[in-house]
């Protein structure tokens, strides 16, 4: 049943809306996502922990929810903001409605709200702390207070919050056959994937290109990993500020010294840069969408990419042994780096897409080649 709801900003602004999903209230950093498809993948991306997602696409819920498109086991966002919510989906793959999925995950959403106005506010003022709530659970006054009291993502280590509790082996490839009929042989020296909030399509593509992947907790020490004689180290995407993740930065520094191939995506990209003694910064409103043009500095090729990040690497702080490989054509922010003295590289966007274009998935092939070369030594 729909309920009266509000979106309260830290500056005191209030938007009234119709609530659906779980009747509750929550706080988080409000961001906007410009993707036109893939809302299921987006809301199950762990990188959205402690964020409220505003969808700029006007219709959300049309295709329902299915059992195959989740990027993690649950919804990690604090709330969802949409213009029009489709209560009755029409899709042959759908097994439940978006609202049923939200209720199951205890997540609040609101609709009948001007998402274009919200997006304009965020572009002008930057990402803002907000409270999204049912009026039956929180008053307008208290919602504004809650928004103001939220500390924001700067300085917040969320990678260890969303990381896996226990290590596991991933052996599933990409759709449609997922290696079910032709399973890969078990690799006694697996690639290690540090889970800072990893998306499942990243794991599928890693499996497709490098074979078996062992996924470990974000805080797993270097000493435990090196005993496994890994062929490569993957640093995953994830939520929050990279700078407080000192445990990860210390580990990466040691892997760099060992000359083990390293590939980082999103938060993993930022952590690799920090391990190389560069700096990161909080962006005004970040990049969230599936239509972001990125240029390869060397070839001048342009790729349309998926993006989801609120922090970035400061190119002015890169040491001489790290070169820039990609830049955003939206704002010239840094999108890719590569070390010149060790086999390590990273990309700020999401080459695995899910949702979005798959033009730059060749980065997984690059990592595969590095792993194979290292395995020969």
According to the model, what pLDDT value does residue 183 have?
47
Catalytic residue, from 23, 130, 266, 292: name it.
266
pLDDT per residue rounded down to tens, the chain (377 residues): 899 999 999 999 999 999 999 999 999 999 999 999 999 999 999 999 999 999 999 999 999 999 999 999 999 999 999 999 999 999 999 999 999 999 999 999 999 999 999 999 999 999 999 999 999 999 999 999 999 999 999 999 999 999 999 999 999 988 766 554 344 454 555 899 999 999 999 999 999 999 999 999 999 999 999 999 999 999 999 999 999 999 999 999 999 999 999 999 999 999 999 999 999 999 999 999 999 999 999 999 999 999 999 999 999 999 999 999 999 999 999 999 999 999 999 999 999 999 999 999 999 999 999 999 999 88
The 10 Å Cβ neighbour count of residue 221 is: 13
According to the model, what pLDDT value does residue 177 have?
61
Q: Give CA angle at 148 (147, 153), nearest 5°.
A: 75
Q: What are phi and psi of 226, to 5 degrees?
A: -65, -25
Pick from 128, 41, 33: which is nearest to 76 by CA? 41
Distance CA 237, CA 126 (A): 22
DSSP-derived 3-state class of residue 189: coil
Residue boundaries of the structural domains of the chain: 3-149, 159-375
Q: What DSSP line would sit under 251-309, residue for residue?
A: HHHHHHHTT--EEEETHHHHHHHHHTT--EEEEEEEEEEEEEEEEETTT--EEEEEEEE
Q: Is 159-375 a domain of CATH 3.40.50.880?
A: yes
Distance CA 259, CA 339 (A): 11
- Is 266 annotated as catalytic? yes
- Beta bridge partners, 97, equal none
- CATH fold, domain 3-149, is Glucose Oxidase; domain 1 (3.50.30)
Burial grade of 377 (CB within 10 A; 0-12, 13-18, 19 or more): exposed
| H or E element, residue 119 | helix 115-125
Pick from 227, 167, 187: which is nearest to 372 by CA? 187
The 10 Å Cβ neighbour count of residue 250 is: 12
According to the model, what pLDDT value does residue 200 have?
97
User: Hey, CA dihedral for 368, 369, 372, 377, is it positive or negative?
Assistant: negative
Distance CA 276, CA 55 (A): 35
- Is 131 annotated as catalytic? no
Catalytic residue, from 23, 71, 243, 352: name it.
352
According to the model, what pLDDT value does residue 173 have?
87
Distance CA 315, CA 323 (A): 9
- Is 359 annotated as catalytic? no
Distance CA 340, CA 355 (A): 32
Alpha-carbon 93 to chain mean position: 24
């Amino acid at each position: 049943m729909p309920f009266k709801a509000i979106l309260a900003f830290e500056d005191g602004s209030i938007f009234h809306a119709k609530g659906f999903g779980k009747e509750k209230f929550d706080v988080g950093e409000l961001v906007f996502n410009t993707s036109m498809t893939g809302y299921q993948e987006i809301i199950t991306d762990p990188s959205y922990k402690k964020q409220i997602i505003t969808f700029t696409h006007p219709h959300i819920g049309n295709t329902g929810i299915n059992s195959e498109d989740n990027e993690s086991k649950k919804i990690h966002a604090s709330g969802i903001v949409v213009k029009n919510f489709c209560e009755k989906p029409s899709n042959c793959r759908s097994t439940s409605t978006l609202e049923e999925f939200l209720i199951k995950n205890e997540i609040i959403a609101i609709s009948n709200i001007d998402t274009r106005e919200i997006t304009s506010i965020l572009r002008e003022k930057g990402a803002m702390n907000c409270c999204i709530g049912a009026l039956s659970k929180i008053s307008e006054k208290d919602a504004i207070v809650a928004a103001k009291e939220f500390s924001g993502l700067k300085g917040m280590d969320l990678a260890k919050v969303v990381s896996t509790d226990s290590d596991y082996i991933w052996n599933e490839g990409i759709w449609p056959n997922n290696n079910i009929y032709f399973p890969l042989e078990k690799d006694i020296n697996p690639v290690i994937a540090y889970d800072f909030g990893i998306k499942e399509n990243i794991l599928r593509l890693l499996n497709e290109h490098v074979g078996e992947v062992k996924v470990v907790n974000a805080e797993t020490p270097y000493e435990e990993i090196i005993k496994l004689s890994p062929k490569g180290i993957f640093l995953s995407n994830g939520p929050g500020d990279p700078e407080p993740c000192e445990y990860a930065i210390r580990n990466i520094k040691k892997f760099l010294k060992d000359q083990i191939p390293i590939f980082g995506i999103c938060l993993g990209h930022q952590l690799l840069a920090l391990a190389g003694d560069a700096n990161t910064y909080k962006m005004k409103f970040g990049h969230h969408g599936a239509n972001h043009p990125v240029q390869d500095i060397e070839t001048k090729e342009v790729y349309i990419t998926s993006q989801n990040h609120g922090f970035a690497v400061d190119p002015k702080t890169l040491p001489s042994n790290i070169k820039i490989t990609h830049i955003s054509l939206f704002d010239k922010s840094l999108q890719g780096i590569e070390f010149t003295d060790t086999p390590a590289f990273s990309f700020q966007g999401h080459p695995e897409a899910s949702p979005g274009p798959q033009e730059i998935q060749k980065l997984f092939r690059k990592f595969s080649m590095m792993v194979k070369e290292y395995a020969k030594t």
